[in-house]
Amino acid sequence: MLSAFIIATVAVVLAEMGDKTQLLAMAFATRFRWQTVLWAVLAATLLNHLLAVALGNVVTHFIPIDWIKLAAAASFILFALWTIRGDALHGEEKRQGSSPFWTVAVAFFIAEMGDKTQLMTISLAANEAVKIEGAGFVAKCQQIIPVWMGTTTGMMIADAFGIVVGIVLHKHIPEKAVKWVAALCFAAFGMIGLHDALDNLLKPGETCHHPYLLATAILLPLAMWGVSKIKTQEETEAGVPPA
């Protein structure tokens, strides 16, 4: 059990370095308290990897993985626009019910669906099931828990590193620049995800969506710039000093 835990931890740490979820942690750390981001990542990872080790790819029998990836890509583009827009004007209380915790948790959960770390978790769990035979409760716990805890620990180590980097960036780089870097990261993930998901959903060799993706890639930064201008105008009217 200990060897399975160590193998799972090391494998995920290596796989997560430079992965989109680590970069998401970095981006969210520039917007929310690091404690909130870390707890949200933990909650999302525990649930996501539990599904991976317990159900394998059964979830994809109900919802095709390419549709999940398409939804994730669309959500990243919305996060890009939201990052530029911000939550509220300076000094304005956040709307009741808004929750940074759930924002981060849902984003991470969706991002992990079909990601290589989730697929790796499924593979490690299957391998452990072969090593430890049996269908009883104890056998199932021995098959599932070490891999589940190991992959979750690996994810937390890698994303904690991303959070630290995000905090450092936020302290040493102007807030406006940090927002744009984070938003552009979200936008890039969204466009890449849309391309990959549509390539898989459409017929092989079908490229009719490429012109639309190219147009979106051009218009999205313009939309972000427009949102930024509206935000700046609102802050000016409210007497908020520029960031």
Distance CA 236, CA 123 (A): 54
Task: Report yes or no on 166 lying in a domain.
Answer: yes
Q: Which pLDDT value is given to residue 101? A: 92
Residues in the chain: 243
87 DSSP 8-state letter: S
Model confidence at 39: pLDDT above 90: yes
First vs last C-alpha separation in the chain: 51
Task: Report yes or no on 76 lying in a domain.
Answer: yes
Task: Report yes or no on 137 lying in a domain.
Answer: yes
Segment 110-138 mean pLDDT:
68
Task: Report yes or no on 242 lying in a domain.
Answer: no
Task: Report yes or no on 84 lying in a domain.
Answer: yes
Task: Report yes or no on 204 lying in a domain.
Answer: yes
Model confidence at 197: pLDDT above 90: no
Task: Report yes or no on 37 lying in a domain.
Answer: yes
Single pTM value for the model: 0.60
Number of domains composing the chain: 1
- Domain of 19 in residue numbering reads as 2-237
Model confidence at 77: pLDDT above 80: yes
Task: Report yes or no on 243 lying in a domain.
Answer: no
Distance CA 234, CA 75 (A): 25
